């Protein structure tokens, strides 16, 4: 289905939980946040019902997010259910990688196609510092396990931050020369706990590109890879992997946005950076069937704004990123 700006909306990002086993500094405070009561979170059956309704208006791709989606009980069963919906042709997952290694085989067998792993540094001490409790070696092993099981393309999501990992961006790009990994550099956005300091640590995609080419050589434009979304991809000469740039601040991609977001509490969100939401949970639990849910999808798609307004900051949203779904 097209929105008011002739964008084809076919992608649903689903937050399965607001809970996370890390406390990344740009996402949430050290003490964490007040978790939603379990009764407020959509059940696995309810999530599947929402997707079944979404396909009526053209949803074909699903990404499972959080929080950390792999802490959600029942995720394997959900993937099996989604994989059984004929219209869904792509099921992906974004994870911090802490639990991925032990679950990769079951995820693949259930029908998961590919994974994105968040990784902002290759230095163990820095990793522990930015995540406040994470184990870098565990994540690196998980990435290799994902490759072994064919959860490809395996993408690495790196938030570039001046004064934190700007001296490692070249090393992260170098991973694409060693393995078929797709490293995506994401501009820091004023969301969640980073709202007050993101402008100080911001690095543009252009600056990152110049750092990489100055050391590793020219980058050649690359055609889109599966699930490429908003990233612009390039490749170093002879590299099995690619380098992507997600420029939400310096060169936003709103004109080609094809997605909706479903929060863990059942709110359908047309734009990540807008507080506008449509309540699916209430009508779902009141007994709504697929047609009524599909009508709500239509309403959400037609309310999708033409572009975000991140320049005006996070607009004092009541929830942080882990509560909305990345």
Q: Does the pLDDT of residue 141 top 50, yes or no? A: yes
When pLDDT is averaged across residues 40-55 and rounded to a whole number, the result is 98
Banded pLDDT at 192 (limits 50, 70, 90)? low
Torsion sign, CA atoms 242, 248, 251, 257: positive
Q: What is the pLDDT of residues 7-24, one digit of tens each?
A: 999 999 999 999 999 988
Per residue in 272-298, pLDDT tens?
877 789 999 999 999 999 999 999 999
Query: Quick one: pLDDT at residue 246?
Result: 93
* pLDDT at position 320: 58
Quick one: pLDDT band at residue 39, thresholds 50, 70, 90?
very high
Q: Quote the tokens at residue 24.
A: 């990344």
The structure tokens 């590793």 sit at 216
Q: What is the rounded average pLDDT of the residues 158-177?
A: 96
User: Using CA atoms, how far apart are residues 210 and 100, in angstroms rounded to an integer?
Assistant: 33
Q: What is the pLDDT of residue 156?
A: 98
**Looking at residue 62, what is its pLDDT?**
98
Predicted pLDDT of residue 121: 97
Please give the Cα distance from 203 to 15 (Å, whole number). Answer: 27
Q: In what order do the strands lie in the sheet with 259-262?
A: 219-221, 232-236, 242-246, 181-187, 154-160, 114-118, 90-95, 61-65, 11-15, 259-262, 267-269, 278-279
**12 three-state secondary structure:** strand
The DSSP 8-state label assigned to residue 99 in this structure reads T
**186 vs 249 pLDDT, higher one:** 186
72 pLDDT band, cuts 50/70/90, is very high
Alpha helix ranges (H) inside 220-319? 281-285, 290-302
Q: Is 132 left (phi over 0), alpha (psi -120 to 50) or beta?
A: left
- Answer for the pair 261, 148: CB distance below 8 angstroms, yes or no: no
What pLDDT does residue 323 have?
61
**The pLDDT of residue 168 is above 70:** yes
For the chain, the first-to-last Cα distance in angstroms comes to: 23
62, β-bridge pairs: 12, 91
Read off the pLDDT band of 314 (50, 70, 90). very low
Domain ranges of the chain: 11-324
253-278 pLDDT per residue, tens: 788 899 999 999 999 999 887 778 99
Of the candidate ranges 7-16, 64-73, 304-313, the one whose mean pLDDT is the lowest: 304-313
Specify the pLDDT at position 316: 53
Q: Which token pair is 4?
A: 């008011």
- Does residue 211 have a pLDDT over 60? yes
Kindly tell me if the per-residue pLDDT of 27 is higher than 80: no
Mean pLDDT over the full length of the chain: 90
Contact 104, 154 (CB under 8 A): no
Locate 20 and state its tokens: 């996370």
Given a cut of 50, whether residue 182 has pLDDT beyond it is: yes
User: For residue 13, which of 299, 267, 313, 316 has the smallest C-alpha distance?
Assistant: 267
In this prediction, residue 313 carries a pLDDT of 47
CATH code for the domain defined by 11-324: 3.20.20.70
Alpha helices in 7-99 (DSSP H): 44-54, 75-83
- CB-based contacts of 220: which residues, under 8 Å, 6+ apart? 234, 235, 236, 237
The 3-state DSSP composition of the chain as helix, strand, coil percent (nearest 5) reads: 35, 20, 45
Question: What's the CA gap between 300 and 277, in Å, rounded?
Answer: 8
Q: Give the pLDDT score at 79.
A: 98
As a whole number of angstroms, the distance between CA 271 and CA 254 comes to: 9
* Antiparallel, parallel or unpaired: β 219-221 and 259-262: unpaired
Torsion over CA: 12, 18, 24, 25 (sign): positive
């Amino acid at each position: 289905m097209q929105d008011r700006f002739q964008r084809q909306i076919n992608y649903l990002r689903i937050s399965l939980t607001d809970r996370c086993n890390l406390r990344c500094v740009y996402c949430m405070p050290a003490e964490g946040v007040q978790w939603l009561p379990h009764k407020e979170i959509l059940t696995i059956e309810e999530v599947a019902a929402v997707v079944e309704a979404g396909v009526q208006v053209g949803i074909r791709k699903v990404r499972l997010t959080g929080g950390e989606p792999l802490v959600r009980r029942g995720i394997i069963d959900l993937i099996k259910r989604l994989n059984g919906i004929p219209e869904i042709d792509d099921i992906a997952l974004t994870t911090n990688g802490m639990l991925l290694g032990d679950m990769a085989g079951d995820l693949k067998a259930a029908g998961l196609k590919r994974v994105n792993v968040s990784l902002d540094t290759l230095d163990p001490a820095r990793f522990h510092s930015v995540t406040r409790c994470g184990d870098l070696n565990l994540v690196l092993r998980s990435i290799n396990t994902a490759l072994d099981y064919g959860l490809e393309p395996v993408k690495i999501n790196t938030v570039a931050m001046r004064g934190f990992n700007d001296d490692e961006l070249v090393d992260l790009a170098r991973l694409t020369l060693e393995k078929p990994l797709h490293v995506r550099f994401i501009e820091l956005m004023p969301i969640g706990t980073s709202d007050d300091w993101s402008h100080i640590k911001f690095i543009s995609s252009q600056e990152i590109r110049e750092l990489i080419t100055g050391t590793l050589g020219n980058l050649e434009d690359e055609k889109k890879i599966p699930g490429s979304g908003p990233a612009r991809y390039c490749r170093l000469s002879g590299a099995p992997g690619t380098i992507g740039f997600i420029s939400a601040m310096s060169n936003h991609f709103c004109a080609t946005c094809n997605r909706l977001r479903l929060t863990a509490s059942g709110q359908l969100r047309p734009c990540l950076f807008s507080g506008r939401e449509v309540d699916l949970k209430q009508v779902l639990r009141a007994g709504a069937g697929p047609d009524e849910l599909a009508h709500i999808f239509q309403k959400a798609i037609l309310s999708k704004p033409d572009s975000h307004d991140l320049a005006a900051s996070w607009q004092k949203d009541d929830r942080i990123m882990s509560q909305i779904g990345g």
